[in-house]
């Protein structure tokens, strides 16, 4: 299954890893089908690390999300450049709508064990086309917005999402 993020910087096509992360993929697809991601921002950009989106509308307004899902990071898929993983809080099972695209091999985000510090971050997709767009986004100037850091000074918008099943 392919999902395309249509951003104001260009399109990023993702191949879903449905076998490796079925719950996570289903969660992401449902948010996409509901139109949740339309108009959301890549609100956290850290060159050499990742770009994160899927939780804030224009003006850094946090969106209401569904219940969190179980972490499937123990699926054997590593957080390598070009993979897409779920963002979460310190609680390993707190992922809801936010996701990030790895800009580098981020081995420290991989599953090690089922402890709070070892769970890691679940990879559920890979960028199949448009990594150049992600690399363009990483070069935007960032600053602080309230208590948020690494926020693009000019909004990077996910205008819409299309799904090819």
Which pLDDT score, from 0 to 100, does residue 28 have?
Answer: 98
CA distance 115 to 130: 34
Which pLDDT score, from 0 to 100, does residue 165 have?
Answer: 84
Which pLDDT score, from 0 to 100, does residue 114 have?
Answer: 95
Over the stretch 20-78, which tens digit does the pLDDT of each residue have? 999 999 999 999 999 999 999 999 999 999 999 999 999 999 999 999 999 999 999 99
- Average pLDDT score, the chain: 97
Which pLDDT score, from 0 to 100, does residue 126 have?
Answer: 98
Percent of the chain surpassing pLDDT 90: 99
Can you say whether residue 81 is alpha, beta or left, with left for phi > 0 and alpha for psi between -120 and 50 degrees? beta
What is this structure's pTM?
0.98
Q: Is 140 exposed, middle or buried (0-12, 13-18, 19+ CB in 10 A)?
A: middle
pLDDT at 162 over 90: yes
Q: What is the mean pLDDT of residues 107-126?
A: 96
The CATH classification number of 2-164 equals 2.40.100.10
Percent of the chain surpassing pLDDT 70: 100
Over the stretch 123-161, which tens digit does the pLDDT of each residue have? 999 999 999 999 999 999 999 999 999 999 999 999 999
CA distance 112 to 155: 35
CA distance 130 to 57: 22
């Amino acid at each position: 299954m392919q999902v395309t993020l249509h951003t104001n910087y260009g399109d990023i096509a993702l191949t879903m890893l449905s076998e490796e992360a079925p719950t996570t993929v289903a969660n992401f697809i449902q948010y996409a089908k509901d139109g949740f991601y339309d108009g959301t921002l890549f609100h956290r950009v850290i060159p050499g690390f990742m770009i994160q989106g899927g939780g804030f509308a224009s003006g850094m307004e946090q969106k209401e999300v569904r219940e969190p899902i179980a972490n499937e990071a123990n699926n054997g898929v590593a957080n390598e450049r070009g993979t897409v993983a779920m963002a979460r809080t310190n609680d390993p099972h707190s992922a809801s709508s936010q996701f990030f695209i790895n800009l580098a091999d981020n081995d420290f985000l991989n599953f090690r064990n089922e402890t709070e510090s070892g769970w890691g971050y679940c990879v559920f997709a890979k960028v199949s086309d448009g990594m150049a767009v992600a690399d363009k986004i990483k070069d935007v100037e960032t600053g602080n917005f309230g208590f948020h850091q690494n926020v693009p000074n000019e909004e990077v918008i996910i205008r819409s999402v299309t799904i090819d099943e």
